[in-house]
């Protein structure tokens, strides 16, 4: 990026309170913003809320009358306005602007800041209706960029014309860099999460291609597990482990022959012994994949029973990992209410009665009761289905 800040108009405006002293008065908020984009595996960094949070802090600490962030869409040569606390998408006449003509476009193209002391009197700038309606006069526009690429622009608006001092411009450049790093982190993280989800989907599809009996079973179990997890107020990290665990709980069946998986009739004792290996096989497949490590306990222990009579390790009560105790209830429900080669689907009420009867023996009673309550409410979280099948 260029170092020299470019001022495109003589400083003719009325000077408002210096930004530098505003920032000094709000060091805590400034520090919060610096850390806004730090990696925290317990909390997903969502770009939209990160932008909102950054703009909120920036409005407070800078005393600006409005702040906005527009992110670059290089494919379409557009700047896409993001929602902020004072300047929303609706504020602008359009959600996007072409990368030409505007102050922001100049910043993106030149990779350097631009400040205007009084846009009303400066012929170099367009003065769009929405800026006029807000009565903004001065603006400072700073590039957002990280790792050698331009991400977008940050703009501060003031109703009074102002003289921009060099320390202010340097301070705002630094602020823009902090925000850039945070946005870049969140974009990388969401890209990585999407790749992870695609990997999991590919694994599940490869399983379901072999095991025609349990088509979409993993998806339905994930839907119910998600609802259970939400009601139990699991953390972001626990929810992720739960959802990956639910999707992949039967992945070990990849290691079981299709003759056994698709057998048209009850299994022999020997065949059942082979099938009982699938939690161990599944855990082994997944444990070497870094982003799936938290889901391994769910995969290994989803057939444990609360009374210790399950498999593969005979764990009892709360020794069974929580996400496994959660997944085993919808897993049981969906198995009973789906067609099998050797029997038709059972009525959901029969499955619910079984769950009620086995709460405290097979199932964690708290999870079982919550599932019964959720089922009675008729809720099924569609969002997971949409995400999973998209
Ligand atoms: Fe299973």
Q: How many angstroms separate the alpha carbon of residue 127 from the centre of ligand 1?
A: 63
Closest-CA residue to 165 (of 295, 13, 312): 13
Cα of 337 to ligand 1 centre, how many Å?
A: 15
Q: What pLDDT sits at residue 390?
A: 37
Higher pLDDT, 258 or 8: 258
**How far, in Å, CA of 81 to CA of 71, rounded?**
6
* Centre of ligand 1 from the C-alpha of residue 131, in Å: 59
Beta bridge partners of 155: 68, 141
- At residue 15, what are phi and psi to the nearest 5 degrees? -75, 130
What is the whole-number distance in angstroms between the Cα of residue 216 and the centre of ligand 1?
A: 14
In order of their start, the domains of the chain are: 6-188 (3.30.450.40), 211-389 (1.10.3210.10)
Phi–psi pair at 255, nearest 5 degrees? -90, 5
Q: How far is the CA of 82 from the centre of ligand 1 (A)?
A: 44
DSSP SS3 for 306:
coil
Ligand 1 centroid to Cα of residue 299, in Å, is 8
pTM: 0.67
Cβ contact 344:201 at 8 Å = no
Question: Tens digits of per-residue pLDDT, 233-285?
Answer: 999 889 999 999 999 999 999 888 888 888 877 889 999 999 999 999 999 98
What is the distance of C-alpha 67 from the center of its chain?
24
DSSP SS3 for 102:
coil
Return the pLDDT at 369: 97
How far away, in angstroms, is 265 Cα from ligand 1 center?
Answer: 18
For residue 151, report the distance from its CA to the centre of ligand 1, in Å: 45
Distance 109 CA to ligand 1 centre (A): 55
Tell me, in angstroms, the distance from the centre of ligand 1 to residue 277's CA. Answer: 9
| Residue 301 CA to ligand 1 centre (angstroms) | 9
CB of 115 within 8 A of CB of 141?
A: yes
pLDDT digits (tens, 9 = 90+) for 11-41: 334 444 556 565 555 556 556 655 555 545 5
- Ligand 1 centre and the CA of 378: distance in Å? 25
Residue 3, pLDDT > 50, answer no
* DSSP at 246: H
Task: Give the start-end residues of each E strand in the chain.
Answer: 6-7, 66-73, 78-81, 96-98, 114-116, 138-146, 149-158
C-alpha 302 to ligand 1 mean position (Å):
7
How far apart are the CA of 382 and the centre of ligand 1, in A?
23
Task: Give the strand order in the sheet containing 6-7.
Answer: 6-7, 114-116, 138-146, 149-158, 66-73, 78-81, 96-98
Mode of pairing for the β-strands spanning 96-98 and 114-116:
unpaired
Which of 379, 256, 367 shows the shortest CA–CA distance to 322? Answer: 367
CA of 375 to the centre of ligand 1 (A): 21
Residue range 371-387: average pLDDT? 68
Write the pLDDT tens digit of every residue in 126-169: 666 777 777 888 888 899 988 888 888 898 888 888 888 888 88
* 251 CA distance to ligand 1 middle (Å): 8
Give residue 238 CA to ligand 1 midpoint distance, Å. Answer: 20
* Centre of ligand 1 from the C-alpha of residue 23, in Å: 57
Top-confidence residue, 189 or 384: 189
Q: How far is the CA of 321 from the centre of ligand 1 (A)?
A: 15
């Amino acid at each position: 990026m260029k170092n020299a800040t470019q001022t495109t108009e003589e400083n003719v405006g009325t000077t408002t309170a210096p930004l530098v002293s505003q920032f000094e008065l709000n060091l805590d908020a400034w520090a919060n913003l610096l850390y806004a984009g730090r990696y925290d595996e317990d909390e997903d960094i969502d770009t939209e809320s990160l932008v909102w949070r950054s703009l909120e802090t920036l409005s407070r600490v800078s005393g600006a009358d409005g702040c906005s962030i527009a992110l670059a869409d290089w494919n379409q040569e557009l700047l896409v306005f993001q929602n902020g606390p004072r300047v929303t998408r609706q504020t602008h006449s359009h959600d996007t602007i072409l990368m030409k003509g505007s102050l922001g476009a100049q910043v993106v193209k030149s990779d350097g800041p631009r400040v205007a002391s009084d846009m009303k009197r400066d012929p170099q700038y367009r003065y769009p209706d929405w800026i006029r309606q807000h009565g903004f006069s001065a603006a400072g526009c700073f590039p957002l960029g990280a790792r050698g690429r331009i991400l977008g622009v940050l703009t501060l608006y003031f109703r009074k014309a102002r003289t921009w001092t060099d320390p202010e411009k340097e301070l705002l450049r630094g602020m823009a860099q902090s925000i850039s790093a945070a946005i870049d982190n969140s974009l990388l993280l969401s890209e990585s999460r999407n790749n992870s989800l695609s990997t999991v989907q590919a694994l599940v599809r490869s399983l379901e291609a072999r095991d025609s009996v349990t088509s979409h079973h993993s998806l339905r179990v994930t839907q119910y597990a998600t609802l259970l997890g939400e009601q139990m107020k699991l953390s972001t990290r626990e929810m992720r482990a739960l959802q990956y665990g639910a999707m992949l709980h039967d992945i070990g069946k990849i290691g079981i022959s299709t003759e056994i998986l698709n057998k048209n009739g009850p299994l022999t004792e020997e065949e059942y012994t082979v099938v009982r290996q699938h939690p161990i096989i599944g855990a082994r497949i997944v444990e070497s994949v870094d982003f799936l490590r938290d889901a391994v306990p769910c995969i290994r222990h989803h057939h444990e029973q609360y009374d210790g009579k399950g498999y593969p390790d005979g764990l009892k009560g709360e020794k069974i990992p929580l996400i496994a105790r959660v997944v085993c209830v919808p897993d049981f429900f969906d198995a009973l209410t789906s067609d099998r080669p050797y029997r038709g689907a059972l009525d959901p009420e029969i499955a619910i009665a079984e769950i009620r009867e086995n709460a405290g023996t097979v199932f964690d009673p708290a999870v079982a009761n919550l599932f019964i309550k959720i089922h009675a409410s008729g809720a099924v979280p569609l969002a997971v289905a949409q995400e999973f099948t998209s």
